[in-house]
Chain A
Amino acid sequence: MNKSGLVIRLAIVIVFTAVIVGLITTQLFYRFTFLNEQALGEQSINQLYNTVSPTASIASYLGDKELAEEVVNGLISNDIVTSAAIKTDVLMVKSDNYFKSSDTLEFVLFSPFQKERRVGVLLVKANKGYLAEKANKISATNTFVVAVEAFIITVISILVTYFVITRPILSIGKALHSISPGTNERIDKPTSHQHSEIGQLADDVNELLVKAEQQMLREKSLRNEVQVLELRFRMLFENSTSAIVLVEPQGDILLYNETFEKLIETLQLPLKKNYGNYLQDLFILKKELHEQIKIAFANNESATAELELISSREEKMWVQVVVTQLITDDYQENYQITLHDISKRKQQISLLDQKANYDSLTNLLNRQATEQHLKQLASAKNPFALIMMDLNDFKPINDIFGHDAGDEILIHVASQLLKNLRKADVLSRWGGDEFVIVLPDASKEEVINVCAKLSSALSKPLHLSQHNKSVFVTASMGISFFPDDEVELIELIRLADKAMYKVKKDKSVDKELYLAFASDMSKPASNSQPS
């Protein structure tokens, strides 16, 4: 049984109280009894005196020893008298054990006939031991009674408190202990406490249990909702075809989805925790990304950019990057970066671009694209040289060997020309057997050099396998300079064209001639018209 349990504690308190109260009561009662007995003893002695006083008076008066002895013997035969004596002028009669002491009671004896005449003294000693013994006896009885009473009260108190208070409370406690909150379990109200405070306690506990159950149910349903919602969010996030990444301002990745993982795998990069600010290390043009972000964030917008990803693969990968600033509940700045794969679209666009701007046979820029390019250079005020080239005697070859051979020759020419041009230079098929070459920032000497190289490259024979015949191709080139010769593009082209026809015309005279500058022929040939 629990040492600090209610029953034990209560029992200890009650027993302790009973013992203390019993002791105090007994002691007090003993004192009272003793005093009372003493008073009673004195009273008894007084009564005894009253009884014997006439005889004692006579004995004293007459000085009669026998009578005095009778009185003394009569007195000491009482329990409360230890010893007694009668003393007169002539007589001293006393019991055997009499001796004079301070606690001796003295009664003056007068003459029976003359009330004022003293004849002697009656001396009596009370039996203190007898009185104390009597008091003790009474007290012992009383102590026993008190002890029995205390025992009965203690037992009854303990039983009553146990059955009326402690047990019902313990039963409530036990029931409460075995109940798991949130269920529909309830505590039974003790039958004898339907309307008492303990019953009220049970009611209150049950009310609390009801509330707890309701709360638990509410929380459960809420948790379920949150779970469902989370599942959906996760589905959205994980199944997104776009890579979604949540990063901190320093570039640490907080969260990423499977698509991002796959993307990194595709790029054959190691999966890292940090790819720099805004994942910049993944892109070829970091600068553009930062610029776009700067502009967008200044306007409180999401930044969008189309960027090419770093990849060791041949196939280029393009993504549309959307960077959104997110402020969390605790005022922390995070970025949501979404990468939409736009490689296919880019490919399609470049294919369309190819179709629109390139000649399908030679894969060189077509006339339209070249014109566009020239316009750009002109508007940028970028100086350049424009070479208009036409193949000599191409038509007869075409007629003799057929179009397939013609096409073969055109491809051959294009590749030869391309081999001898710089990267910044532009080679385009202007139409038929006409080519336009743009040399940016080229001087006249450079142009002469280039043209010489081109001419010699063309002079190599081409073996037509179908016809088992080698052919030679030569070309005529007319050159004009922007902006030195002309600022208007149409006029500039016309000038180069004119110079080229001039070469064709003069070829009959000088077989080796293959180029002419528009600036050289402007004056002497101002009147002549191309044929």
Chain B
Amino acid sequence: MKQFTKTISLFLLVLCFSIQAQEPIAVVVNKANPVDQLTRSELIDLFMGKYVAFPDDSKAMPVELKGENDLKVNFYQNLVGMPLSRVNAYWSRLRFTGRKRVAIFQANEADLVDYIIANEQAIGYVPQSLITEDLKVVYILNE
């Protein structure tokens, strides 16, 4: 029992360290967007291409970073538990069946923030540290 408790406490310690090591990622929308909060499933459905609209049926436009950005990697890792390569493979497969991804690609985080501020339907992810007054946080990953 004592051994078990020890193992559990050690595990928690490691977990705390990793969380500390990575900054939480915030999913943000335009301030004018009526959506205040999203569930994890709704978030996945939006980013993995199941839905192209918010739960209130207003059109949604996911904003994505180009390439293999660390934030992008972290985001998918935290959202669907998959490395980015697999997420890319998922999209590749869908492309063969004729399904096209609905998303806006931005080169960096700053451009991404700017786009969201400018577009009401946009939804994207930013590190917690980059949250401004102009953005509405609907979900926080890796809290």
Contacts and interface: CB of A to CB of B under 8 A. Distances in A.
Interface of A: 55, 58, 61-64, 66-67, 70, 112-114, 117
Contact of A66 (B41, B90, B98): B98
B104 to A, nearest CB: 20
7 contacts: A61-B48, A61-B50, A64-B97, A112-B80, A112-B90, A113-B79, A113-B80
Interface in B40-70: 41, 44, 48-50
Contacts of A114: 41, 44, 80
Given A113-B44, A117-B41, A67 B50 contact: no
A300 B99 CA distance: 149
Interface of B: 41, 44, 48-50, 79-82, 90, 93-94, 97-99
B44 A66 contact: no
B112 to A, nearest CB: 22
A509 to B, nearest CB: 200
Given A113-B44, A113-B82, A117-B41, A58 B93 contact: yes
A55 to B, nearest CB: 8
A117 B50 CA distance: 14
B41 A70 contact: no
Given A58-B90, A113-B48, A114-B41, A70 B82 contact: no
Given A113-B44, A113-B82, A66 B50 contact: no
B140 to A, nearest CB: 18
Contacts of B99: 62, 64
A62 B102 CA distance: 14
A114 B99 CA distance: 21
Max chain B CB contacts within 10 Å: which of A63, A64, A70?
Answer: A64
Contacts of B93: 55, 58
A57 to B, nearest CB: 11
A53 to B, nearest CB: 14
A107 B41 CA distance: 23
A117 B49 CA distance: 16
A62 B50 contact: yes
Contacts of B44: 113-114
Contacts of B97: 64, 66-67, 70
Contacts of A66: 97-98
> Which 8 pairs of residues, A with B, have the shortest CB-CB distance?
A113-B80, A66-B97, A67-B97, A113-B44, A62-B50, A113-B48, A64-B97, A61-B50
Nearest to A113: B80
Contacts of B94: 58, 62, 64, 67
Nearest to A70: B97
A222 B93 CA distance: 119
Nearest to A112: B90
A390 B90 CA distance: 198
Nearest to A66: B97
Contacts of A117: 41
Nearest to A69: B97
Given A113-B48, A113-B81, 13 more contacts: A58-B93, A58-B94, A62-B49, A62-B50, A62-B99, A64-B94, A67-B94, A67-B97, A112-B90, A113-B44, A113-B79, A113-B82, A117-B41
A359 B49 CA distance: 190
B63 to A, nearest CB: 19
A29 B132 CA distance: 77
Contacts of B48: 61, 113
Contacts of B81: 113
A70 B50 CA distance: 19
